[in-house]
Amino acid sequence: MAPGTFGTLAAVPLYLLLQPLPLTLYLLLVAVMLAAGVGICAYTSRALGVHDHGGIVWDEMVGYLITMIAAPPGWGWVVAGFLLFRLFDIWKPWPIGMVDRRLSGGLGIMFDDLLAGLYALLVMQLAALLLPM
């Protein structure tokens, strides 16, 4: 039940561990996780015999970490990032929905969450500029 939401929730403690890192190191770790995720998700998808099985949540974790790039500190931002990422991951506005339907394999599993994370990141950064807390 709601594996994407629980997968994103599992990313919150990981984000809290990575948050204090310098931005360049944070970005490097997220890039490594994204690249590794293509292989991890492809292997798991093949092993389960189902494309983007609900039990595959690595993509949600990476998507949330993308959302939280350079996020301001504080629990309000952690929650806002969670809600925004879930919104874009579920809603799948263009081109996320198209990518989700057309790409297969590990890249397809990861790429729609990459895009959802980028959309949420953009909204987070705009909010941080317009609503300084």
Does residue 16 register a pLDDT over 90?
Answer: yes
Does residue 96 register a pLDDT over 90?
Answer: no
Q: Which residue has the tokens 């969450």?
A: 113
Structure tokens at 66: 């993308």
Does residue 103 fall inside a structural domain? yes
DSSP string, 20-70: TS-HHHHHHHHHHHHHHHHHHHHHHHHHHTSTT-TT--HHHHHHHHHHTTT
CA distance 28 to 42: 22
Q: What residue numbers bound the domain in which 67 lies?
A: 3-127
Does residue 132 fall inside a structural domain? no
Domain tally for the chain?
1
* Predicted local confidence at residue 116, as pLDDT: 97
Q: What is the pLDDT of residues 26-48, one digit of tens each?
A: 999 999 999 999 999 999 989 98
